[in-house]
Amino acid sequence: MPSTAGPKAYALILTALCSSSVIRAGDLPNTAASPLAQPRSMRQVGLPAAATRASIPTDNPQTPEKVALGQQLFFDAHLSADGTIACSTCHDPARAFTDGKAVSAGIGGRAGQRNSPTVLNALYNATQFWDGRAATLEQQAALPIVNSVEMGQPNLDAAVASIAAIPQYRQAFQSAFGTAPNGTDLVRAIAAYERTQVAFDSPFDHYIAGERDAIDPAARRGWELFNGRARCNKCHALSDKTRDSTNFTDNDFHNIGVLIVRHNVVALAKQARQMLASADAAAVDRAAIQTDMSALGRFLVTKKESDIAAFKTPNLRNLLLTAPYFHDGSQATLWDVIDHYNKGAGLNNPYLDEDIVPLALGERDIDDLVAFMASLTSPPYKEAAALELARQRKLSRTSRPQRDTERAFGPAPVRKKPPPP
Protein backbone atom coordinates (compact mmCIF):
# COMPACT_ATOMS: atom_id res chain seq x y z
CA MET A 1 0.00 0.00 0.00
CA PRO A 2 1.40 3.43 -0.88
CA SER A 3 2.32 5.36 2.23
CA THR A 4 0.03 8.24 1.24
CA ALA A 5 -2.92 6.02 2.15
CA GLY A 6 -1.78 6.18 5.77
CA PRO A 7 -3.36 9.33 7.14
CA LYS A 8 -6.70 8.46 5.56
CA ALA A 9 -6.75 5.08 7.29
CA TYR A 10 -6.10 6.74 10.64
CA ALA A 11 -8.86 9.26 10.09
CA LEU A 12 -11.15 6.28 9.54
CA ILE A 13 -9.98 4.61 12.74
CA LEU A 14 -10.60 7.79 14.62
CA THR A 15 -14.11 8.16 13.25
CA ALA A 16 -14.83 4.53 14.11
CA LEU A 17 -13.54 4.98 17.66
CA CYS A 18 -15.34 8.22 18.39
CA SER A 19 -18.66 6.84 17.28
CA SER A 20 -18.25 3.65 19.31
CA SER A 21 -19.83 3.47 22.74
CA VAL A 22 -16.47 3.00 24.45
CA ILE A 23 -15.43 6.63 24.34
CA ARG A 24 -17.80 8.91 26.20
CA ALA A 25 -18.30 12.58 25.36
CA GLY A 26 -16.42 13.72 28.45
CA ASP A 27 -13.36 11.81 27.32
CA LEU A 28 -13.25 13.32 23.87
CA PRO A 29 -10.52 15.91 24.38
CA ASN A 30 -8.22 13.11 25.49
CA THR A 31 -8.03 11.47 22.08
CA ALA A 32 -5.47 10.94 19.38
CA ALA A 33 -7.02 13.95 17.63
CA SER A 34 -6.49 16.48 20.39
CA PRO A 35 -3.89 19.13 19.54
CA LEU A 36 -1.58 18.19 22.44
CA ALA A 37 -1.50 14.58 21.25
CA GLN A 38 0.20 15.40 17.95
CA PRO A 39 3.86 14.63 17.21
CA ARG A 40 5.89 17.66 18.26
CA SER A 41 8.30 19.84 16.38
CA MET A 42 11.90 18.68 16.39
CA ARG A 43 13.00 22.29 16.07
CA GLN A 44 12.63 23.40 19.68
CA VAL A 45 15.22 25.49 21.47
CA GLY A 46 17.11 23.18 23.82
CA LEU A 47 16.27 19.92 22.00
CA PRO A 48 19.35 17.68 22.04
CA ALA A 49 19.60 16.59 18.40
CA ALA A 50 22.22 13.88 18.85
CA ALA A 51 20.52 12.29 21.88
CA THR A 52 17.21 12.37 20.03
CA ARG A 53 18.68 10.47 17.09
CA ALA A 54 20.47 8.08 19.45
CA SER A 55 17.21 7.21 21.21
CA ILE A 56 15.83 5.54 18.09
CA PRO A 57 16.68 1.82 18.00
CA THR A 58 18.02 0.48 14.72
CA ASP A 59 15.27 -2.15 14.62
CA ASN A 60 12.51 0.43 15.05
CA PRO A 61 13.11 3.45 12.80
CA GLN A 62 10.59 6.28 12.87
CA THR A 63 8.15 6.42 9.94
CA PRO A 64 5.03 8.58 9.64
CA GLU A 65 2.80 5.50 9.22
CA LYS A 66 4.19 3.85 12.33
CA VAL A 67 3.94 6.99 14.43
CA ALA A 68 0.34 7.59 13.35
CA LEU A 69 -0.55 3.99 14.20
CA GLY A 70 1.16 4.29 17.59
CA GLN A 71 -0.73 7.50 18.24
CA GLN A 72 -4.07 5.75 17.62
CA LEU A 73 -3.08 2.82 19.82
CA PHE A 74 -1.92 5.06 22.68
CA PHE A 75 -5.40 6.58 22.94
CA ASP A 76 -7.36 3.41 22.28
CA ALA A 77 -9.19 1.68 25.14
CA HIS A 78 -9.61 -1.42 22.93
CA LEU A 79 -6.18 -2.42 24.20
CA SER A 80 -7.63 -3.07 27.67
CA ALA A 81 -9.54 -6.15 28.78
CA ASP A 82 -12.88 -4.38 29.27
CA GLY A 83 -12.47 -1.58 26.74
CA THR A 84 -12.33 1.21 29.31
CA ILE A 85 -8.62 2.03 29.76
CA ALA A 86 -6.14 3.43 27.26
CA CYS A 87 -2.52 4.43 27.84
CA SER A 88 -3.85 7.99 27.74
CA THR A 89 -6.17 7.34 30.69
CA CYS A 90 -3.11 7.62 32.92
CA HIS A 91 -0.96 9.62 30.49
CA ASP A 92 -3.23 12.48 29.41
CA PRO A 93 -1.50 14.97 27.08
CA ALA A 94 -3.48 17.83 28.65
CA ARG A 95 -1.68 17.01 31.92
CA ALA A 96 1.70 16.60 30.26
CA PHE A 97 0.91 12.87 29.89
CA THR A 98 0.17 12.22 33.56
CA ASP A 99 -3.14 11.74 35.40
CA GLY A 100 -3.05 14.19 38.31
CA LYS A 101 -3.61 11.39 40.81
CA ALA A 102 -1.31 10.32 43.65
CA VAL A 103 -1.37 6.78 42.32
CA SER A 104 -2.95 5.64 39.06
CA ALA A 105 -6.15 3.63 38.76
CA GLY A 106 -6.81 1.14 35.97
CA ILE A 107 -9.64 -1.18 35.07
CA GLY A 108 -12.50 -1.38 37.54
CA GLY A 109 -11.05 1.69 39.25
CA ARG A 110 -8.41 -0.47 40.90
CA ALA A 111 -5.54 1.61 42.26
CA GLY A 112 -1.87 0.76 41.86
CA GLN A 113 1.01 1.78 44.12
CA ARG A 114 2.73 4.33 41.94
CA ASN A 115 2.38 7.79 40.48
CA SER A 116 2.11 8.08 36.70
CA PRO A 117 5.26 9.68 35.25
CA THR A 118 5.15 11.82 32.16
CA VAL A 119 5.77 10.30 28.74
CA LEU A 120 7.21 13.63 27.53
CA ASN A 121 10.96 13.20 26.92
CA ALA A 122 10.78 9.57 28.12
CA LEU A 123 12.76 8.72 25.00
CA TYR A 124 15.84 10.09 26.77
CA ASN A 125 15.42 7.92 29.89
CA ALA A 126 18.26 5.43 30.30
CA THR A 127 15.68 3.07 31.80
CA GLN A 128 11.88 3.15 32.09
CA PHE A 129 9.70 3.09 35.24
CA TRP A 130 10.56 4.52 38.68
CA ASP A 131 12.71 1.47 39.35
CA GLY A 132 14.13 1.14 35.83
CA ARG A 133 12.73 -2.35 35.35
CA ALA A 134 12.24 -1.85 31.59
CA ALA A 135 15.20 -1.10 29.36
CA THR A 136 13.31 0.38 26.41
CA LEU A 137 10.02 2.06 25.56
CA GLU A 138 9.12 -1.05 23.57
CA GLN A 139 9.57 -3.33 26.61
CA GLN A 140 7.77 -0.84 28.80
CA ALA A 141 4.65 -0.63 26.63
CA ALA A 142 3.90 -4.35 26.91
CA LEU A 143 3.67 -4.33 30.71
CA PRO A 144 0.66 -2.08 31.51
CA ILE A 145 -1.38 -3.98 28.91
CA VAL A 146 -1.07 -7.20 30.92
CA ASN A 147 -1.05 -5.74 34.44
CA SER A 148 -4.33 -6.64 36.11
CA VAL A 149 -4.85 -3.25 37.79
CA GLU A 150 -3.93 -1.30 34.65
CA MET A 151 -5.27 -2.60 31.33
CA GLY A 152 -5.98 -6.12 32.56
CA GLN A 153 -5.32 -8.29 29.50
CA PRO A 154 -4.36 -11.93 30.17
CA ASN A 155 -1.53 -11.55 27.63
CA LEU A 156 -0.36 -9.32 24.81
CA ASP A 157 -2.00 -11.54 22.18
CA ALA A 158 -5.41 -10.76 23.67
CA ALA A 159 -4.79 -7.06 23.05
CA VAL A 160 -3.59 -7.83 19.54
CA ALA A 161 -6.77 -9.84 18.89
CA SER A 162 -9.07 -6.99 19.83
CA ILE A 163 -7.12 -4.59 17.62
CA ALA A 164 -7.01 -7.07 14.75
CA ALA A 165 -10.81 -7.26 14.81
CA ILE A 166 -10.93 -3.68 13.53
CA PRO A 167 -10.36 -3.57 9.74
CA GLN A 168 -8.73 -0.12 9.82
CA TYR A 169 -6.08 -1.42 12.20
CA ARG A 170 -5.33 -4.38 9.93
CA GLN A 171 -4.83 -1.87 7.13
CA ALA A 172 -2.70 0.41 9.32
CA PHE A 173 -0.38 -2.44 10.38
CA GLN A 174 -0.03 -3.37 6.71
CA SER A 175 1.03 0.12 5.75
CA ALA A 176 3.32 0.63 8.76
CA PHE A 177 4.93 -2.82 8.96
CA GLY A 178 3.75 -4.78 5.91
CA THR A 179 2.18 -7.42 8.16
CA ALA A 180 -0.92 -8.29 10.17
CA PRO A 181 -1.31 -6.94 13.73
CA ASN A 182 1.13 -8.61 16.15
CA GLY A 183 2.52 -7.87 19.61
CA THR A 184 6.07 -6.95 18.62
CA ASP A 185 4.95 -4.36 16.10
CA LEU A 186 2.18 -3.08 18.36
CA VAL A 187 4.67 -2.02 21.05
CA ARG A 188 7.06 -0.75 18.37
CA ALA A 189 4.37 1.58 17.01
CA ILE A 190 3.52 2.89 20.49
CA ALA A 191 7.21 3.50 21.26
CA ALA A 192 7.68 5.28 17.93
CA TYR A 193 4.79 7.60 18.81
CA GLU A 194 6.23 8.24 22.28
CA ARG A 195 9.54 9.24 20.67
CA THR A 196 7.73 12.15 19.01
CA GLN A 197 6.77 13.59 22.40
CA VAL A 198 9.65 15.96 22.97
CA ALA A 199 9.17 19.00 25.20
CA PHE A 200 11.74 21.81 25.29
CA ASP A 201 11.58 25.47 24.18
CA SER A 202 10.89 26.60 27.75
CA PRO A 203 11.96 30.01 29.06
CA PHE A 204 14.88 28.18 30.70
CA ASP A 205 16.00 26.73 27.34
CA HIS A 206 15.99 30.23 25.89
CA TYR A 207 18.02 31.42 28.86
CA ILE A 208 20.61 28.67 28.35
CA ALA A 209 20.67 29.55 24.64
CA GLY A 210 21.83 33.02 25.59
CA GLU A 211 18.67 35.10 26.10
CA ARG A 212 19.53 36.36 29.54
CA ASP A 213 16.13 37.88 30.23
CA ALA A 214 14.14 34.81 29.23
CA ILE A 215 13.84 33.93 32.93
CA ASP A 216 13.52 36.33 35.86
CA PRO A 217 16.14 36.91 38.55
CA ALA A 218 14.41 34.55 40.99
CA ALA A 219 14.65 31.65 38.51
CA ARG A 220 18.29 32.54 37.77
CA ARG A 221 19.09 32.48 41.50
CA GLY A 222 17.19 29.19 41.74
CA TRP A 223 19.32 27.58 38.99
CA GLU A 224 22.51 28.61 40.82
CA LEU A 225 21.14 27.28 44.13
CA PHE A 226 20.16 24.06 42.36
CA ASN A 227 23.79 23.55 41.36
CA GLY A 228 25.21 24.90 44.59
CA ARG A 229 24.02 25.25 48.14
CA ALA A 230 20.77 23.29 47.60
CA ARG A 231 22.79 20.32 46.29
CA CYS A 232 20.12 19.24 43.79
CA ASN A 233 22.93 18.65 41.28
CA LYS A 234 24.18 15.75 43.41
CA CYS A 235 21.55 13.75 41.51
CA HIS A 236 19.75 16.02 39.04
CA ALA A 237 22.92 16.54 36.97
CA LEU A 238 25.37 14.45 35.01
CA SER A 239 27.91 14.87 37.84
CA ASP A 240 28.68 17.33 40.62
CA LYS A 241 30.75 19.30 38.13
CA THR A 242 28.69 18.92 34.96
CA ARG A 243 25.33 20.62 34.93
CA ASP A 244 22.53 18.95 33.02
CA SER A 245 20.34 21.62 31.49
CA THR A 246 18.58 19.08 29.25
CA ASN A 247 17.16 16.28 31.39
CA PHE A 248 18.28 17.13 34.94
CA THR A 249 19.18 13.58 35.86
CA ASP A 250 22.16 11.35 36.57
CA ASN A 251 20.12 8.39 35.23
CA ASP A 252 20.73 6.72 38.55
CA PHE A 253 18.65 5.53 41.52
CA HIS A 254 18.61 6.96 45.04
CA ASN A 255 16.83 6.49 48.31
CA ILE A 256 15.78 10.02 49.17
CA GLY A 257 13.58 8.97 52.08
CA VAL A 258 10.12 9.12 50.54
CA LEU A 259 7.74 7.73 53.16
CA ILE A 260 10.04 4.84 53.89
CA VAL A 261 9.01 4.94 57.59
CA ARG A 262 5.59 3.67 56.60
CA HIS A 263 7.02 0.33 55.55
CA ASN A 264 9.03 -2.39 57.21
CA VAL A 265 11.40 -2.59 54.26
CA VAL A 266 13.62 -5.28 55.78
CA ALA A 267 10.70 -7.71 56.02
CA LEU A 268 9.52 -6.70 52.56
CA ALA A 269 12.99 -7.24 51.10
CA LYS A 270 13.08 -10.76 52.53
CA GLN A 271 9.69 -11.47 51.01
CA ALA A 272 10.76 -10.02 47.64
CA ARG A 273 13.97 -12.09 47.57
CA GLN A 274 11.99 -15.28 47.97
CA MET A 275 9.22 -14.36 45.60
CA LEU A 276 11.38 -12.93 42.85
CA ALA A 277 14.19 -15.48 42.93
CA SER A 278 13.35 -16.61 39.42
CA ALA A 279 10.94 -13.89 38.44
CA ASP A 280 10.07 -12.74 34.94
CA ALA A 281 9.35 -9.13 33.95
CA ALA A 282 5.60 -9.51 34.49
CA ALA A 283 6.12 -10.77 38.08
CA VAL A 284 8.38 -7.84 38.95
CA ASP A 285 5.78 -5.54 37.37
CA ARG A 286 3.03 -7.04 39.56
CA ALA A 287 5.16 -6.61 42.68
CA ALA A 288 5.88 -2.98 41.77
CA ILE A 289 2.33 -1.97 40.89
CA GLN A 290 0.18 -4.17 43.11
CA THR A 291 1.96 -4.99 46.37
CA ASP A 292 3.60 -3.33 49.37
CA MET A 293 6.90 -4.51 47.90
CA SER A 294 6.51 -1.51 45.59
CA ALA A 295 8.24 0.53 48.32
CA LEU A 296 11.44 -1.42 47.70
CA GLY A 297 12.01 0.43 44.42
CA ARG A 298 15.18 -0.52 42.57
CA PHE A 299 15.76 -3.46 44.92
CA LEU A 300 12.99 -5.32 43.06
CA VAL A 301 15.21 -5.26 39.99
CA THR A 302 18.71 -5.74 41.41
CA LYS A 303 18.02 -7.49 44.79
CA LYS A 304 20.90 -5.40 46.12
CA GLU A 305 20.46 -4.15 49.66
CA SER A 306 21.88 -0.74 48.80
CA ASP A 307 19.00 -0.32 46.34
CA ILE A 308 16.26 -0.67 48.95
CA ALA A 309 13.70 2.09 48.38
CA ALA A 310 15.90 3.70 45.72
CA PHE A 311 14.02 5.27 42.82
CA LYS A 312 15.05 6.80 39.52
CA THR A 313 16.11 10.45 39.47
CA PRO A 314 13.34 11.93 37.30
CA ASN A 315 13.48 14.62 34.65
CA LEU A 316 12.19 17.92 36.05
CA ARG A 317 10.47 19.50 33.06
CA ASN A 318 6.84 20.62 33.07
CA LEU A 319 6.49 19.78 36.76
CA LEU A 320 3.60 22.20 37.17
CA LEU A 321 1.53 19.84 35.04
CA THR A 322 2.60 16.63 36.76
CA ALA A 323 1.66 17.09 40.44
CA PRO A 324 1.49 15.36 42.86
CA TYR A 325 5.16 14.42 43.21
CA PHE A 326 7.42 11.45 43.92
CA HIS A 327 6.94 7.79 42.96
CA ASP A 328 3.96 7.50 45.30
CA GLY A 329 2.47 10.94 44.66
CA SER A 330 2.99 11.76 48.32
CA GLN A 331 3.82 15.47 47.95
CA ALA A 332 1.22 17.99 46.79
CA THR A 333 3.35 20.99 45.85
CA LEU A 334 6.88 21.92 44.81
CA TRP A 335 7.21 23.72 48.16
CA ASP A 336 6.52 20.39 49.89
CA VAL A 337 9.16 18.66 47.75
CA ILE A 338 11.79 21.24 48.70
CA ASP A 339 10.76 21.14 52.37
CA HIS A 340 11.35 17.40 52.18
CA TYR A 341 14.92 17.91 50.94
CA ASN A 342 15.56 20.91 53.19
CA LYS A 343 15.10 18.97 56.42
CA GLY A 344 17.29 16.12 55.19
CA ALA A 345 14.21 13.85 55.22
CA GLY A 346 14.03 10.24 56.26
CA LEU A 347 15.55 10.08 59.73
CA ASN A 348 15.81 6.45 60.88
CA ASN A 349 16.23 5.36 57.28
CA PRO A 350 19.46 3.37 57.11
CA TYR A 351 19.39 3.24 53.31
CA LEU A 352 19.11 7.00 52.85
CA ASP A 353 21.42 8.44 50.18
CA GLU A 354 24.45 10.17 51.65
CA ASP A 355 23.64 13.30 49.66
CA ILE A 356 20.39 13.86 51.55
CA VAL A 357 21.37 16.23 54.35
CA PRO A 358 19.82 19.29 56.03
CA LEU A 359 20.19 22.22 53.60
CA ALA A 360 19.47 25.33 55.68
CA LEU A 361 17.45 26.89 52.84
CA GLY A 362 15.46 29.99 53.78
CA GLU A 363 12.04 30.89 52.42
CA ARG A 364 13.47 33.05 49.64
CA ASP A 365 15.79 30.22 48.57
CA ILE A 366 12.81 27.89 48.39
CA ASP A 367 10.79 30.37 46.32
CA ASP A 368 13.77 30.79 43.99
CA LEU A 369 14.09 27.03 43.47
CA VAL A 370 10.39 26.86 42.65
CA ALA A 371 10.81 29.77 40.21
CA PHE A 372 13.62 27.88 38.48
CA MET A 373 11.52 24.71 38.17
CA ALA A 374 8.56 26.75 36.90
CA SER A 375 10.83 28.12 34.13
CA LEU A 376 11.06 24.57 32.73
CA THR A 377 7.54 24.80 31.30
CA SER A 378 7.15 24.18 27.56
CA PRO A 379 4.99 26.61 25.53
CA PRO A 380 1.85 24.43 25.12
CA TYR A 381 1.53 24.27 28.92
CA LYS A 382 2.24 27.91 29.72
CA GLU A 383 -1.28 28.92 30.82
CA ALA A 384 -2.03 25.74 32.74
CA ALA A 385 1.31 25.99 34.52
CA ALA A 386 0.70 29.60 35.55
CA LEU A 387 -2.63 28.62 37.10
CA GLU A 388 -1.07 25.67 38.91
CA LEU A 389 1.82 27.77 40.18
CA ALA A 390 -0.68 30.24 41.64
CA ARG A 391 -2.64 27.38 43.20
CA GLN A 392 0.46 25.81 44.75
CA ARG A 393 1.75 29.16 46.00
CA LYS A 394 -1.58 29.87 47.67
CA LEU A 395 -1.68 26.42 49.24
CA SER A 396 1.90 26.80 50.46
CA ARG A 397 0.90 29.93 52.37
CA THR A 398 -1.40 27.94 54.64
CA SER A 399 -0.14 24.38 54.41
CA ARG A 400 3.49 23.28 54.65
CA PRO A 401 3.21 19.76 56.06
CA GLN A 402 6.87 18.92 55.31
CA ARG A 403 8.41 22.11 56.69
CA ASP A 404 10.75 21.53 59.63
CA THR A 405 12.88 24.64 60.01
CA GLU A 406 14.64 23.39 63.11
CA ARG A 407 15.93 20.30 61.33
CA ALA A 408 16.70 22.21 58.14
CA PHE A 409 19.02 24.53 60.04
CA GLY A 410 20.21 21.92 62.52
CA PRO A 411 23.26 19.65 62.38
CA ALA A 412 23.32 16.59 60.11
CA PRO A 413 21.86 13.72 62.14
CA VAL A 414 23.96 10.69 62.99
CA ARG A 415 23.37 7.97 60.40
CA LYS A 416 21.87 4.63 61.30
CA LYS A 417 23.73 1.65 59.86
CA PRO A 418 21.73 -0.84 57.81
CA PRO A 419 20.84 -3.95 59.79
CA PRO A 420 22.98 -7.02 58.99
CA PRO A 421 21.48 -8.95 56.04
**Is residue 223 a contact residue for ligand HEC (CB under 6 A)?**
no
- Out of 188, 206, 234, 286, point to the residue binding ligand HEC (CB under 6 A): 234
Q: For residue 146, give the nearest of 187, 179, 174, 115 by alpha carbon.
A: 187
* Distance in Å, CB of 229 to ligand HEC, minimum: 9
* Distance in Å, CB of 43 to ligand HEC, minimum: 24
Q: How far apart are CA 378 and CA 357, in angstroms?
A: 31
Burial of 208 per CB tally in 10 Å (0-12, 13-18, 19+):
middle
Task: Indicate the residue type of 285.
Answer: D
* Distance in Å, CB of 239 to ligand HEC, minimum: 13
* Distance in Å, CB of 357 to ligand HEC, minimum: 9
* Distance in Å, CB of 52 to ligand HEC, minimum: 16
Q: For residue 181, give the nearest of 207, 161, 208 by alpha carbon.
A: 161
* Distance in Å, CB of 5 to ligand HEC, minimum: 25
Q: How far apart are CA 117 and CA 312, in angstroms?
A: 11
* Distance in Å, CB of 178 to ligand HEC, minimum: 23
Q: Give the nearer residue to ligand HEC in terms of CB position, either 168 or 392.
A: 392
By rule CB under 6 A, what string of x and - marks binding of each residue 120-159 to ligand HEC?
--x--x--xxx------x--xx--xx----xx--------
Which SS3 state, helix, strand or coil, does residue 360 take? coil
Residues in 7-66 at the binding interface with ligand HEC, rule: CB under 6 A:
none
Q: How far apart are CA 96 and CA 122, in angstroms?
A: 12
- In DSSP terms, 254 is beta-bridged to 311
**Is residue 317 a contact residue for ligand HEC (CB under 6 A)?**
no
Instruction: Determine the interface stretch with ligand HEC among 25-33, 61-69, 202-210, 310-318 (rule: CB under 6 A).
Output: 310-318
**Is residue 190 a contact residue for ligand HEC (CB under 6 A)?**
yes
Pair 335, 370: CB distance under 8 Å: yes
**Is residue 332 a contact residue for ligand HEC (CB under 6 A)?**
no
Cα 379 to Cα 96, 206, 234, 317, 350, distances in angstroms: 12, 12, 28, 12, 42
- Out of 9, 94, 96, 230, point to the residue binding ligand HEC (CB under 6 A): 230
End-to-end CA distance of the chain: give it in Å, rounded.
61
Instruction: Determine the interface stretch with ligand HEC among 35-43, 109-117, 273-281, 397-405 (rule: CB under 6 A).
Output: 109-117
Neighbours of 270 (CB within 10 A): 12
**Is residue 188 a contact residue for ligand HEC (CB under 6 A)?**
no
* Distance in Å, CB of 80 to ligand HEC, minimum: 7
- Out of 104, 246, 377, 396, point to the residue binding ligand HEC (CB under 6 A): 104
**Is residue 102 a contact residue for ligand HEC (CB under 6 A)?**
no
Pair 226, 369: CB distance under 8 Å: yes
Residues in 257-296 at the binding interface with ligand HEC, rule: CB under 6 A:
258, 288-289
* Distance in Å, CB of 304 to ligand HEC, minimum: 16
Measured CA angle at 12 (ends 6, 16), to 5 deg: 145
Q: How far apart are CA 146 and CA 304, in angstroms?
A: 27
Q: What are phi and psi of 336, to 5 degrees?
A: -65, -40
Pair 46, 200: CB distance under 8 Å: yes
Q: How far apart are CA 171 and CA 169, in angstroms?
A: 5
Residues lying near ligand HEC in the complex (CB under 6 A) = 85, 87, 89-91, 104, 106, 112, 114, 116-117, 119, 122, 125, 128-130, 137, 140-141, 144-145, 150-151, 190, 194, 230-232, 234-236, 254, 256, 258, 288-289, 311, 313-314, 316, 319, 322, 325-327, 334, 337-338, 341, 353, 355-356, 369
